[in-house]
Every structure is written in C-alpha cells, then in structure tokens.
Structure 1
Amino acid sequence: METLKELAAASEQFDMVFIDADKTNYINYYNFILGNNLLRLRGVMCVDNSLFKAKVYLQETTDENGLALREFNQFVASDPRVEQVLIPLRDGLSLIRRVSVTSTCSRTENKITTDEVFHGVRGRSILDRMRLDGKVAYVTGAGQGIGRAFAHALGEAGAKVAVVDLDRDKAKAVAEELFLKGINAVSITADISQANDVQKMIETIVSKWGTVHVACNNAGINMNSVSEDTTVDEWDKTFNVNLRGTFLCCQAAGRVMLKQGYGKIINTASMASLIVPHPQKQLSYNTSKAGVVKLTQTLGTEWIDRGVRVNCISP
C-alpha cells in the first residue's frame, strides 16, 4: 500500500495491474487504485485466487480469506466503475476493466452532468469512436512519404488497407510492413491517370473485401520549372496525375460509396493550392492542387446529403 501511495503521489497510471497475495487487503488495493486513478480508462485489473478453492461459495465458511474474497467479489460486481469476467481457472482469475461511469454520481458538492460528453456518444470513448475496425480503405501514392504514413495510420486504427502505387515494389514493401504489424493489407499497382487502372483498382478492392469505406487520394507529382519555360507536356503530365487522377479516383470510389450510402474521401492537396511557395518554381503543380481543392469542395457539397463526405488536406 505504501508503494501504491507513492505511485499515486507521482500521478502514475497503468494499463494493467495484477493483484495477488494479501487477500484480506484485495478490496483496499482495489479501492485505492480506482480512487486515485492509478488504472487508466479501459485498463485491466487482474485479480488472482478470486474463487479461492470455492470457499467464497460455502455458506458456512469461517475461512478468513474466503470471506474476504466473497466480500471483494460482491463489491466488484456492484461497482459501476468497472465491468468484469470471472474465470473459473484453478483458484479463479478476475479480469476487471475500468469503464466510464454509467450511473448518476456526484463529486464534492457539485452534480455531475451525465450527458454524451460525460459518457461518450452511445457510451463509447472518443478513441473508440475513431476506430476503423471493419472498414476498408485504400491509399494512392502509398509506396512512400505521406501516403505510406496514411496506410500505416489507417491500418493501426483497424482498417483493411489497399496500398496503391505506380511502383510495384514500393507498394509491396509497404503492404509487407503492414502485414508484420498484424494489419490486413494488399498491394495494387496502378497509374491513377488512367481510367482503366483506376476502375481495376476499385474492382480489385471490392472483389477482395466487398466494398470501400475510406478513399485516400494522395498520389501526386511535381515537376519544377520557371513559368516561362513550363512545357505543355509538363503541364499535362502534372494535371493528369494530380487533378485528372484525383477526379477519376473520387468518381470510381464515389460510385461504390453512394450506392451504399456511406463513405469518406480524403484528397491530398497542398499548401501550394492556397499560397505560392516562392521561390519554388512550380506553376503546373500549384495550379493543379488548387484544382484539387475546388474538386473537393464541389464533390463534398454535392454528395454530403447522400452519405459521402469529401475533404482534403493541404500539407
């Protein structure tokens, strides 16, 4: 208990606490740990010997440990701060998880406002609500840089991820990275400036995982040149990937999302869509990224009432 007091004084918190040995003090340890926030929200307390040779169930028992554990188990079962599973393994193991308080409570003299802010929407915490378990996502330009980071982030949040890149080897490498982290992933080679490639990309994802929930249209190129020397070929190549490619991906993914009435599209624009990053000379890039912003605004306005949100970020 002295150690617990020292940890509490230092404002320490833990994801897991294991309680064993001094059985008559279990309830004191438990109350001190929860009362001083030593256990994080959704953290787990593992309590050993919580059935103690079945003596907790014997009506006429006089065993001190058995009586102490009976009181402990009854207290935990009625405590709104936690949920528990009691496993009948050997002398019993209780797995106790801290949850948001679900009953009206008070703190000092003030009433607690028990609304969605306090409990979380539908009783779920903000991090739980940001989870993507069961969702299917793809990221273009995912073989490196921002796209690679998107792929990892979506996968870590629980989504299945299609890693799309023009470079087959880079796409495979990132998909293997995700696999090593326990994330379901597939690599797809595609040139997003080509309508056939984009359609095949979407069909491959839908064939494998049934749908698309999240589309990260991130692929882009930049070919620097002063404005008076910018060639039509450079202009066309830049627009074909940055704007035409983003449009094709939005349209192909959007058709799937509109049909199911749900979807999130995130396009990568650039700060160059809003400012001129002088002294860099990149007329075609800046203009194409400004087009991505207007494309996003238009689709976002048109599709929002049909369940599809379209946004862009400007790194």
Structure 2
Amino acid sequence: MPHFPETSIRTLVENLKKAHEIACHNTAVPEALQYYLQKAVDETRKLNFCSATPSINRTASSMDNHLTVPFSETETKINGEQLTCTREGQFHRMLVRMLGAKRVLAIGALKVPCLLAMAEVIPDDGSIIVYALQPYFGQSNQEAFDFSPHGNKIRTKTGPITDSLKELAAVGEDFDIIFIDADQKNPAESYRFVMENHLLRMDGLLCIENVLMKGWGYLENTADENVLDVKTLNQVINSDPHTEQVVLPVQGGLMLVRRSLMHIEQEDLPRGVMKDEVFEGHRGRRILDRLQLEGKVAYVTGGGQGIGRAFCHALGEAGAKVAVVDLVPAKAEAVACELSLKGIKSIAIAADITLPGDVQKMLDTILTKWGTVHIACNNAGINMNSPSEDTSLEEWDQTFNVNLRGLFLCCQAAGRIMLNQGYGKIINTASMASLIVPHPQKQLAYNASKAGVVKLTQTLGTEWIDRGVRVNCISPGIVDTPLIHSEELKPLVQRWLDDIPAGRLARVTDLQAAVIYLASEASDYMTGHNLVIEGGQSLW
C-alpha cells in the first residue's frame, strides 16, 4: 500500500531558526525584524506542548510513527505527525475520562503520546495493556515511559496476538476500552475473539482504528491484503446485530462500537432466554442509568461542610442541580463554587432551618431558580455533649430546635411541593445514636433528637408513599471530620475504634452512594427506612 506522509513542519522550524541566527549577526537587519523573528522562534517551542498533558508535554514523536524522545529545549524534534499525536492524545484522554475507564487494552501499535495521555487520567490501580505482533517500542520509548510519572501503568507484550488474547480470556480479564488497529493482519479475528470471549465489559467501548485506510477501504478493485482485511472487518462489524457503531474522521478513521440490545428480537434468542424488564432493564433503563439524577433539583441543609458537603458533591456528580444551604453564608458559597468548578449547576442559600420564614425563603429561592424541588436532603444538625444530670433546658431546646424542629419544617415545606407534583425524595440524616447509646460520650439531647428523626421519617414515609413521595433516613456512625481531631475529642477516638468492627471511623465518602440510591428511582419501593452505615458498631 502506498505511504501517505503527514505534512511536516520541521523544515519550517529549522529555516526559521537559521533566519533568526542570520538576523542576529547582521547589523543591517532592523531590530524590529529581529524581535519578531525571536518571538516566532519562541512560539515554535510551544508546539510541543499542544496536548496540555504533562507527560506528553515532555515528549516528542519522531518520523517513524513510534519513536518518542524526551523533550529538550536545546534539541526539539517537531513534525506534523507529532502534532497529530498530541491532538490524538487529547482525544484518547477524553475517551478515558468520559467512560471513567480503569483498564484499557490496545491490540496493535498505539502511538506513545496517546498511551501516555490515557495513562495520566487512569486511576493508580488501573492499567493499559498493549499487545503487538512485533516489537515497536525502542529504548527511547521506554525512556519516555520512565520519564512520565504514569508510565508504570503501561505494560507491553509482543508475539502472536491470538495467543495473548487467549491468556487474558483464560483468567477472566475484561476492559473498559479496547483499541484494535485495523491496519494489521486479520483484524476481524481479533474483533470476534474480543466480543465472543467478553473481553469488553458490558458497557465498554471498542475503538477500531484505521477503518477508512485513507479511502483505500472503499476501492472496488484491489488486491492489497491489508485493504481486504479492513473490508472484511467492516463487514463483520456491520453484520453483528448485537452492536451499534459510528465512524469518526480521526486520522485513518475511528469506529466506535458498543453492545446494543435494540435489534435483538425474542425469536432470535436461545431457548429459555426471556427478553423482559430484567433483561432489558426497568423501562428500558439499566441499573446504573436508574441511579442517575439528570433533570432533578436537590437541596442539602448543612451543606457547607462535612457530611452535607459530601452529599452536595454526590448529588451533583449524579446529575442533579444542587442548592447548598447553610447557616453560614461563606460556607455555602464555598461549596457552591466547588460544584460550579466541576460543571455542576448550583446555588448557595443562607438559612436558619429553625425559622419557618427562612425555610420558606429557601424553597422560594429554589423554585424561582429551577421551578421545583425533587430531592430534599435534610442534613443540618448539632451535638452538644453533657451528662444527663447537667443537661440544661437551653441545650435541650437548642438541640431539638435544629435536629428535629428544623428537620420537620423542611420536610413539611418540601413535602407540600412534592405532594402537589406527585413525586419527591426526602432524605433525612439521623444517627447510629438512634439505635444504640454511643459511649463514653454523654449526649442525651442528641440521642433523643435523632431517635425522633427516625420516627418522624417512618411516619411521613407511610403517609406519603401512595402520593409519590418517599421519605427515608441515613444513620451514620462516627464520622471522621475535623471536629473529631479536636483536643477535646482526641482521647475518645481510640475508645470508639475499639467498638467498631470495621476498625476505623466512617468517611464522608462512605455515605455518598447511599444518598444517591435514596434520591434515585432505584429506591422507589423504599420508604420509612433507616439506612445504617456505621461499620458494624451498632452490632456490638
């Protein structure tokens, strides 16, 4: 097959540098011209940084498609393919981010900048495995991997690809993204093996590179083996009823392939296989889709710190718009800013939930901004420790005002909106103290108020479920927050750890999945439930 070289700019860069050197040694050249030549030379150094990827920023591809050398300001190798690689690197990096991929398999040669770009966004416990028929990584490539802090996530193996794939299948490996280079011998065999042996995860993405072969794949009369192999691959994929695909005009053509159940009819299924809502998903939605909160509006009281802040981030990451409510305006604004930086629609609201007027203003603000509220996360609470015989009426009233009165006001006000629209999720934060008497701290008012939260939740849960509103609560154990590390509480920490089978305090992130479950349609049949998350402490 004829080779189509990429447009090179190396000659342009070298000529520009020579022109600059000549100008600097010629007193007849105007200073302004010398100045602009210098600026042009400076700009060429930035060309190697177009990927916005640190490890790629330190590497540059050579003309052989695969060689990568450490970047040096004194010796920069720049050409058209390098720029293409870094742009491709950005594309590969985005694919990994979009899918949240942890494990990637590349069958055939994948350019080093693309590998490094993906490695940077793959979690530390993730990996990229590259299988190629022949060695194509030289010493300089290994230097590039060693130079990158993420190069250790990349593993390569050469030899018969089918044998390598069989080894993966034998140990039950699977991947979030699999790349297959169509420009190799018999790529259709690799495709069939991947799909038949489930090397690609259920919701994984298969990326077939070079499927267009720069137009050669569409020639009617050709005897080129590579072109014929690509044609065969395209035919195999297009005739597969279990997948859907799209071709993107990236380099030699990139086909994205995913599994699909859309075209499978009941009569085409093996005997005994049922195409029902378990198979297809409730209302056609798979379980992870049912946990999504796109289009939903939520608020979180006490959202400016600790558990409430974690709830705000979790709800926003699941797709909801989030109103961050806190007694301290600066705290609410800081968390709303965090959400905004992540692309989450959010607003900050200052409110004292013990005041009916503040609660109504909070909801009016949300209604004015977003038109409704679907998820009410009533999390604000306080705890003041004192022996029961010394508990003042002021401490009792203050604890109940926030933990129970304020929570009731929020439930009632939000519940009226939800009952009117026929749908809503109310999630209250109770405590493990509603089940046991935590010790050795003395906290009569707190324990009693949180027990009240559970009973309030159970009562509302039964009253409102037949009108579309579910009310549940979460009871965390002792949560590791900055308050726990205060000098006053430090002596108690070891005592608490001795009482927890899990051997550690709860983290706020331990509670995030629970709030998403209770806020989503996946929990539509649950109401009045107290979801306990305490590492087993209440069992001892």
Measure, in 2, the Cα distance between the counterparts of 1:7 and 1:71.
25
Tell me by how many angstroms 1:241 deviates. 0.6
- Check conservation: 2:182, 2:208, Cα contact below 8 A: no
How is 1:145-164 mapped onto 2 (pairs within 5 angstroms)?
145-164=306-325
1:152-198, CA deviations, whole angstroms, 9 ceiling, x for partnerless residues? 11111111111111122222222222223222222211111111111
Q: Which residue of 1 aligns with 2:190?
A: 29
Tell me by how many angstroms 1:97 deviates. 1.8
Measure, in 2, the Cα distance between the counterparts of 1:275 and 1:160.
35
Q: Which residue of 2 aligns with 1:130?
A: 291
1:87-130, CA deviations, whole angstroms, 9 ceiling, x for partnerless residues? 34564321112345863544xxx743433223322332211111
Measure, in 1, the Cα distance between the counterparts of 2:231 and 2:183.
14
- Check conservation: 1:217, 1:265, Cα contact below 8 A: yes
Q: Which residue of 1 aligns with 2:475?
A: 314
Measure, in 1, the Cα distance between the counterparts of 2:272 and 2:184.
35
Runs of 5+ unmatched residues, structure 2? 1-160, 477-540
Query: Aligned match of 2:300 in 139, 153, 169?
Result: 139
Return the index of the structure with the highest Cα Rg: 2
6-15 or 245-254, which deviates more:
6-15
AA at the equivalent of 2:323: A
Tell me by how many angstroms 1:230 deviates. 1.5
Structure 1 residues 100 and 226: CA distance shift in structure 2, 3 A: farther
How is 1:244-263 mapped onto 2 (pairs within 5 angstroms)?
244-263=405-424
Structure 2 residue 342 is matched with structure 1 residue 181:
yes
AA at the equivalent of 2:441: Q
How is 1:58-69 mapped onto 2 (pairs within 5 angstroms)?
58-69=219-230
Measure, in 2, the Cα distance between the counterparts of 1:228 and 1:89.
74
Tell me by how many angstroms 1:219 deviates. 0.6
Measure, in 2, the Cα distance between the counterparts of 1:140 and 1:254.
15
Report percent identity of matched pairs.
67
- Check conservation: 2:183, 2:210, Cα contact below 8 A: no
SS of residue matched to 1:220: coil
Tell me by how many angstroms 1:34 deviates. 1.8
Measure, in 1, the Cα distance between the counterparts of 2:401 and 2:383.
12
Q: Which residue of 2 aligns with 1:194?
A: 355
How is 1:64-143 mapped onto 2 (pairs within 5 angstroms)?
64-88=225-249, 91-99=252-260, 103=264, 104-106=268-270, 111-143=272-304
304-313 or 17-26, which deviates more:
17-26
**TM-score of the two chains, using structure 1 as the length reference:** 0.90
Structure 2 residue 288 is matched with structure 1 residue 288:
no
AA at the equivalent of 1:214: I
Query: Aligned match of 2:326 in 131, 144, 165?
Result: 165
Give the aligned length: 312
Tell me by how many angstroms 1:23 deviates. 4.3
Measure, in 2, the Cα distance between the counterparts of 1:164 and 1:98.
42
Q: RMSD over aligned Cα, in angstroms?
A: 2.2
1:20-66, CA deviations, whole angstroms, 9 ceiling, x for partnerless residues? 25344221121122222222222212222323344444444544444
- Check conservation: 1:40, 1:98, Cα contact below 8 A: no
- Check conservation: 2:243, 2:257, Cα contact below 8 A: yes
Tell me by how many angstroms 1:19 deviates. 2.1
Tell me by how many angstroms 1:280 deviates. 2.6
Measure, in 2, the Cα distance between the counterparts of 1:56 and 1:296.
64
Measure, in 2, the Cα distance between the counterparts of 1:248 and 1:79.
57
Q: Which residue of 1 aligns with 2:68?
A: none
Measure, in 2, the Cα distance between the counterparts of 1:71 and 1:9.
27
Measure, in 1, the Cα distance between the counterparts of 2:300 and 2:428.
10
167-176 or 296-305, which deviates more:
167-176
Q: Which structure is richer in relative contact order (CA contacts within 8 A, separation 6 or more)?
A: 1
SS of residue matched to 1:85: strand
Tell me by how many angstroms 1:216 deviates. 0.6
- Check conservation: 2:183, 2:230, Cα contact below 8 A: no
SS of residue matched to 2:363: helix
Structure 2 residue 468 is matched with structure 1 residue 279:
no
114-123 or 199-208, which deviates more:
114-123
Tell me by how many angstroms 1:11 deviates. 3.4
Runs of 5+ unmatched residues, structure 1? none
Measure, in 1, the Cα distance between the counterparts of 2:361 and 2:175.
47
167-176 or 85-94, which deviates more:
85-94
Measure, in 1, the Cα distance between the counterparts of 2:304 and 2:468.
30
1:1-34, CA deviations, whole angstroms, 9 ceiling, x for partnerless residues? 1443344344333222222253442211211222
Query: Aligned match of 1:216 in 377, 386, 400?
Result: 377
Measure, in 1, the Cα distance between the counterparts of 2:441 and 2:350.
31
